[in-house]
Amino acid sequence: MLSFLSAFIPRAVVQGIPLLYGSTGEIMTQKSGNLNLGIPGVMYVGAISGVIGSFFYEKSTGGNVNSFLAVLIPMLCCLIGSLLMGLLFCFLTVTLRANQNVTGLAMTTFGVGFGNFFGGSLIKLSGADVPSIALSATSACFSKSLPFASNLGGFGKVFLSYGFLTYLAIIIAFVCSYILNKTRLGLHLRAVGENPNTADAAGINVIKYKYVATCAGCMIAGLGGLYYVMDYACRVWSNDAFGDRGWLAIALVIFTIWRPNIGILASFLFGGLYILYLYIPTGMEHMEYQELYKMIPYVVTLIVLVITSMRSKRENQPPQSLGLPYFREER
């Protein structure tokens, strides 16, 4: 049993980290009253932006990379690409007051197409025989674990065998939770999400908070896409390989009842549920059962949604103005 857990838990963690980045970013966005269903596209753009930076840096150095620059360049490219997606979403939904659901879905389609287009272009530039890009030099700096982890047995494997982006995701989740619940900034942000008219009357700049929270949320989510390529996917970019993780991150927001700190353990749980089908023997005659097991995270989310709705506690509900455009009255 212990050997099974020591093998299963690390796999659940690495599966859950992209979900943690995506859900934390979406929670910050939703707390401002914006519903961004474009998170899957944002994560895709963040991933391909980091891959572009990594690809050209590796090419310019011939593979002899500086560890600091090998991390800095892809991360900056990822954050810039994700920020631009956030600004686009805000411009359309906050400034132009476009429908947030439609805009988010369109951005998901755009993000996936953007990633596949530039991913395919890089594959042609690399001259690879397979439809993928290997980023072995730069991504090795992302996936490097603590040097003494292997000497600590099962404890080191379960808790210390991950790249720095894993621990960064946990830190960001705790910081976001602290900001939302313990600071004036978080109080103002929650006020904007609950009742923007009242917040505006109290002197809070509603537009600024919506822009900042949404753009920050997109940048956090974009790091999830970068982590997927540089760490989880064994340093390889392949078109359409990200799967439904972006949608699962949005489902995780509901599961965590809009609390980033709960999202840490919940993302690991979802990561475990996501790969659970690999550990349940079905036999070659019943491979279709695996698709049923893949539905488990979404079924669990629906159950949590029903339970929280029945309990009717305000702190367990989404922001009251979520998804609604804000029309500022004349002063």
Average pLDDT over residues 112-132: 85
Q: Is residue 180 part of a domain?
A: yes
Low-confidence winner among 32-36, 77-81, 192-196, 236-240 (lowest mean pLDDT)? 236-240
Distance CA 252, CA 20 (A): 8
Q: Is residue 323 part of a domain?
A: no
Q: Within 10 Å of residue 178's Cβ, how many Cβ atoms?
A: 13
| Domain containing residue 48 | 2-145+160-316
Q: Is residue 311 part of a domain?
A: yes
Q: Is residue 153 part of a domain?
A: no
* pLDDT for res 202: 94
Q: Hey, what are 99's tokens?
A: 């429908």
Per-residue HEC secondary structure of 9-44 comes to: HHHHHHHHHHHHHHHHHHHHHHHCCCCCCCHHHHHH
Residue 229 and residue 221 in contact, taking contact as beta carbons nearer than 8 Å: no
Residue 86 and residue 219 in contact, taking contact as beta carbons nearer than 8 Å: yes
Average pLDDT over residues 13-32: 95
* pLDDT for res 88: 97
* pLDDT for res 84: 98
pTM of this structure: 0.93
User: What backbone phi and psi angles, to 5 degrees, belong to 237?
Assistant: -100, 130
Asked if pLDDT for residue 282 goes beyond 70, the answer is no
Q: Structurally, how many domains does the chain consist of?
A: 1
Residue-wise pLDDT tens digits, 150-184: 777 777 777 888 999 999 999 999 999 999 999 99
Distance CA 59, CA 239 (A): 20
* pLDDT for res 242: 78
> What is the share, in percent, of the chain residues with pLDDT greater than 70?
93
pLDDT tier at 134, thresholds 50, 70, 90? confident
Residue-wise pLDDT tens digits, 176-210: 999 999 999 999 999 999 999 999 999 999 999 99
Q: Is residue 78 part of a domain?
A: yes
pLDDT tier at 19, thresholds 50, 70, 90? very high
Return the CATH number at 127: 1.10.3470
Query: What 3-state DSSP class applies to 243?
Result: coil
* pLDDT for res 141: 87
Residue-wise pLDDT tens digits, 78-98: 999 999 999 999 999 999 999
Round the average pLDDT of the chain to a whole number and report it. 88
* pLDDT for res 286: 64
Residue 214 and residue 36 in contact, taking contact as beta carbons nearer than 8 Å: yes
Distance CA 224, CA 218 (A): 10
Distance CA 62, CA 65 (A): 8
Asked if pLDDT for residue 225 goes beyond 90, the answer is yes
Distance CA 178, CA 201 (A): 26
Q: Is residue 131 part of a domain?
A: yes
Q: Is residue 279 part of a domain?
A: yes
Stronger pLDDT, 178 or 301, i.e. the higher one: 178
Which residues have a Cβ under 8 Å from the Cβ of 69 and sit 6 or more positions away? 57
Residue from 222, 197, 230, 284 nearest 85 by CA: 222
What DSSP designation does 278 have? Answer: G
Asked if pLDDT for residue 35 goes beyond 80, the answer is yes
**CA–centroid distance for 125 within its chain:** 28
Q: Hey, what are 229's tokens?
A: 């390529």
